[in-house]
Chains A and B, each alone.
Chain A
Amino acid sequence: MSGDKHSTYTPKTRIARWFDARLPLPRLVHDSFIVYPVPRNLNYAYTFGGILTIMLVSQILTGIVLAMHYAPDTGLAFNSVEEIMRDVNSGWLLRYLHSNGASFFFIAVYIHICRGLYYGSYKAPRELLWVLGCTNLLLMMATAFMGYVLPWGQMSFWGATVITNFFTAVPLIGDWLQQLLLGGFAVDNPTLNRFFALHYLLPFVLAGVVTLHIWALHVVGQNNPTGIEVKSKTDVVDFTPYATVKDAFGILVFLFFFAYFVFYLPNYLGHPDNNTIANPLKTPAHIVPEWYFLPFYAILRAITFNIGPIDSKLGGVLAMFGSIAVLFLVPWLDTSKVRSAVYRPWYRVLFWLFVANALFLGWLGSRPAEGAYVVMSQLATLYYFAFFVIAIPVLGLIEKPRRLPNSITEAVLEKDKASGRGPIAGPEAKH
């Protein structure tokens, strides 16, 4: 993927030479995952790309087997899931891996996004890389939402009702759009059928966009904690073994936490109401989405007032979709010449405030929509948007960044010196 002109691959056997002349797949793998140069200073925040890839593969594998046992029919769906839990060999494991897998997929993607925001990984020339990543987030959200509907419990049904009703807020074509999504006038069998079909399809679309994302990454190269571009050979190390081993270790630690939830707290992140079969005539007392949607849910509910011609319902829906849409614009909103928050004292403070605010929004999303919670949601929503449309553009113009090192190598050696470590630990000993 890094382009043939840099390729150092030399096929050693006759078969390898035969292949290389016809379909140079081994060359692609060699150039992309073995000798591919990565900055020498990548920290563990950079292992989440690998973790996400593993989670996507895991979700697809468990999902395919679950689909073999699941019945997408309103009369059968709930019981088929119960059968998976009780009668299918290791069905409980597959399902818990899959449902908790969705949660851990989101944990990883949120950390991955925050890492990108912190180190300025979206800035030129990585705008498309970032936009493809945002597209992946949207695909993940659509897939997760439709997957949550499939067990046909109370939360499945009412979550589907509320979310498909978002589309009725669209002027003129809203009702038509909602009926298209539902395949009728209320959430029912046609809805379940199409959600199942799309839930099976979208992960493969996601895999396609992930491929583009990795392709774009390998064209522009990885950013790194200093945000300084790679300038010389001493700034980089080979992907294998350096990044491979670091990624593998990150993945193992992550899977340890994942396994802990799967085996010891499998229902901790779920909602007990979803163990009750869907009832179209009764809404549960408190409906909440899955935890990974809570911040956006809080933003939706924060707009309780009309804004000019936009009524509160459309306003809430616009704010919620806007909170994702604004991510796409970040490369063009940021005016800073310096990428990494390491050298940006004010941005760093506002970034961590943004993270705390997003977690706070998540907590507010789990509270009932009344009294002080509404006001707090409104303030937190305000900061969420202000961070992107005010703080990011303005800070770049007024903030005085700290002195940047001349190169990644210099930054690493300075750090080693400061911590009393000699340069012998550096990977250049190998070259």
Chain B
Amino acid sequence: MADLSETSTAEHTLHVEAPDAIEVDVSSLRPGTSLIVDWHGNPVVVRNRTEQEMKDGQSVSLAELKDPIARNANLPVDAPATDANRTMPGKEAWVVMVQVCTHLGCIPHGQEGDFDGWFCPCHGSQYDTAGRIRKGPAPENMAVPVFQFVSDTKIRIG
């Protein structure tokens, strides 16, 4: 677990770019599988979405969203929460986000709930396949951290 002592310079993962980055090998991820890495004490999920999950995410209009902001640290702060803005150009199958519920900080379960995205067991928040809040008490979409594909099989988070 990352050290989060008081003197740590790590920034709050939900809001700001963090200085220390990690590299993740994602070569083992077939469509429909995910892995979770520990980044500053928070779980970051990397999911290679199925065709169906991508289609579900893309078919949602902005008007249906509870939080219309992308919450993607790689984009301007007011970018709209389209499915494309929740992913990387050319890597639309991949969702990388801090898997922490924006309500009160629990960790949602993947591929559960009404939208087959994420479901938070604490207070019933439901996220879709792009990690956007659709139902329940959470106010915001789950945060996409600063990340990039270093190669086809390697992601750098932070």
Contact = CB atoms under 8 A, between A and B. Distances in A.
A403 interface: no
B77 to A, nearest CB: 15
A1 interface: no
A112 interface: no
Given A185-B40, A301-B137, A313-B104, 5 more contacts: A162-B104, A281-B107, A283-B120, A287-B121, A313-B138
Contacts of B15: 175
A316 interface: yes
A265 B120 CA distance: 32
Given A281-B36, A369-B124, A158 B10 contact: no
Given A283-B106, A313-B138, A368 B10 contact: no
Contacts of B6: 183-184, 190
A184 B106 CA distance: 17
Given A162-B122, A280-B41, A184 B137 contact: no
A382 to B, nearest CB: 17
Nearest to B99: A281
Interface in A237-287: 280-287
B123 A165 contact: no
A167 to B, nearest CB: 10
B38 interface: yes
A407 interface: no
Interface centre among B12, B43, B123 (most CB of A within 10 A): B123
A284 B139 contact: no
B42 interface: yes
Contacts of B10: 185
Interface in A173-206: 175, 179, 183-186, 188-190
Given A284-B121, A287-B122, A188 B41 contact: yes
Given A162-B122, A190-B6, A369-B123, A185 B104 contact: no
Contact of A186 (B41, B136, B138): B41
Interface string B30-51: 0000001010111100000000
Contacts of A304: 136-137
Contacts of A161: 104-106
Interface of B: 1, 4-6, 8, 10-13, 15, 36, 38, 40-43, 103-108, 120-124, 136-139
A166 interface: yes
A431 B41 CA distance: 72
Interface in A306-336: 311-313, 316
Contacts of B5: 184, 188-190
Contacts of B138: 313
A135 to B, nearest CB: 26
B18 to A, nearest CB: 10
Contacts of A162: 104-106, 122
Given A179-B12, A186-B4, A368-B124, A282 B41 contact: no
Contacts of A283: 106-108, 120-122
A150 interface: no
Contacts of A129: none
A74 B90 CA distance: 42
23 contacts: A158-B122, A161-B104, A161-B106, A162-B122, A175-B12, A179-B12, A185-B11, A185-B13, A186-B4, A186-B41, A190-B4, A190-B6, A280-B1, A281-B36, A281-B38, A281-B43, A283-B108, A283-B120, A304-B136, A312-B139, A313-B138, A370-B124, A374-B124
A319 B41 CA distance: 30
Given A280-B41, A283-B107, A311-B139, A185 B4 contact: yes
B15 to A, nearest CB: 7
Interface in A135-163: 158, 161-163
A185 B121 contact: no
Contacts of A282: 107
A55 interface: no
Contacts of B120: 283
A185 B12 contact: yes
B41 A313 contact: no
A316 B137 contact: yes
Contacts of A164: 105
A172 B103 CA distance: 17
Nearest to A179: B12
Given A186-B41, A190-B5, A301 B104 contact: no
Contacts of B123: 301, 369
B157 to A, nearest CB: 15
A177 to B, nearest CB: 13
Interface in A56-98: none
A287 B43 CA distance: 18
B4 A184 contact: yes
A303 interface: yes
